[in-house]
Amino acid sequence: MSKRKSTRAQGYKRTGSQEHKSIRIVIPCVLVGFALFCRAFAGGEVSSTKEECALKIYLPREITVKDEAISLGEVSIIRGKESLVSKASGISLGQISMPGQSIVVDRPTVLSRLACSGISVSEVTLIGAKKVIVRQEQQIIQGSEFVELAREFLRKHLPEGTECQFEPIRVPIDLVVPGDVKDVKLFPRLAGDTAGGQGKVEVSVVGDGKEIGVCEVTFGLKYNSRRAVALVDIPAGGTFGPENIRIEKVLSDSPEACDWREPYGLVARRRIAADTVIRSNMVSLRKGDVIVKRNRAVVIQYESPVLLVTAVGKAMQDGRAGEYIKVRNVDSQRIILAKVKENGTVEPVF
């Protein structure tokens, strides 16, 4: 009995001794944890206060703005104390004075503007790029677009039936339109005539109902035409034919004459060397050839500096160039005397 009691007492005592040990170990741990928590809390408070007072500014490499005037808030991302952020955002960094211009804003410039506005450099942290390239939002009308528009316009306004090629003498530069202009339209118009182998077109650029620019496009005009070239030496009085001339298609500075035709059957007024371009003053009708035949219809034509009168007649006899024949006017049935011309018409003699 006594042994059992002793055993129970020792056992209980051991247990009690371990509980006291546990308490002695836990209490210091709690104190250390509490101390660490307080320290962490205090440290967090200091860090939060420091972050709230600091001003962090992120600078991108490039940015596009809508307005001409540039502020720091438009070209960067600003974080920090609300009062400082508001103040820094409104700081001016300059102005874009012309379309297409870009402004470079570097870190020293930003710090200088901040200091001038009363924000200490020690309160500012700059991150991101070392400088920002600032451009204004804009539209660009390329010079090639002006050329194509002017080419199509000029093609539609040439005389009907004219075949022509257009080569721009100088491609105009690109036109920069500010980004705030929305409704942009192009209006081409002729600038003078197409004489001298050139054609000029002015393209007016209208934005939001107002003209904002004019671009001039000048073309060198090359007309599709034909010409006769001597294959061999042709003596004076020689007759033109496929054996001694060839017809070439060429580009010319002036349009082809409306009455141009191959000079087959005509004769050379003088000697023409091989490879010479045959012009109208080098040819004539064969002497003795009958141009107007008896009982055939003929055009009666009278021309003066201020008047041109034509009528239809009937030749009463054969006629050669320069001869005078009788012709009956079909309308009045009156017989007149007329001179036969090289082009096959007759001119009345009064």
Residue 280 contacts residue 246 (beta carbons within 8 Å): no
pLDDT tens for 44-86 read 333 334 444 478 999 999 888 877 788 998 889 999 888 888 8
Instruction: Tell me which residue of 138, 136, 112, 146 sits closest to 126, measured CA to CA.
Output: 112
| CB burial string 84-98: b at 16+ within 10 A, e below | beebbeebebeebee
pLDDT of 309 higher than 60? yes
pLDDT at 294: 92
Over range 102-120, report the average pLDDT. 89
pLDDT tens for 175-233 read 878 766 778 889 999 887 666 677 889 999 988 888 888 889 988 878 888 999 999 99
pLDDT at 40: 39
Over range 102-111, report the average pLDDT. 89
| Confidence category of residue 290, pLDDT binned at 50, 70, 90 | confident
Residue 123 contacts residue 88 (beta carbons within 8 Å): no
pLDDT at 157: 81
Distances in Å between the Cα of 208 and the Cα atoms of 66, 110, 146, 202, 205 are: 17, 36, 19, 19, 10
pLDDT at 160: 65
pLDDT at 320: 83
| Confidence category of residue 295, pLDDT binned at 50, 70, 90 | very high
Statement: 55-136 belongs to CATH 2.60.40.420: no
pLDDT of 236 higher than 50? yes
Mean per-residue pLDDT of the chain: 79
Statement: 290-348 belongs to CATH 3.40.50.300: no
pLDDT at 51: 43
Q: Which two tokens stand for residue 302?
A: 């009278």
pLDDT of 167 higher than 70? yes
pLDDT of 323 higher than 90? no
**Domain 142-284 belongs to what architecture?**
Alpha-Beta Complex (3.90)
Neighbouring residues of 252: CB distance < 8 A, sequence distance ≥ 6: 222, 223, 224, 225, 227
pTM passes above 0.85? no
pLDDT at 48: 38
Q: What gap in Å lies between CA 105 and CA 348, rounded to an integer?
A: 87
Over range 242-270, report the average pLDDT. 85
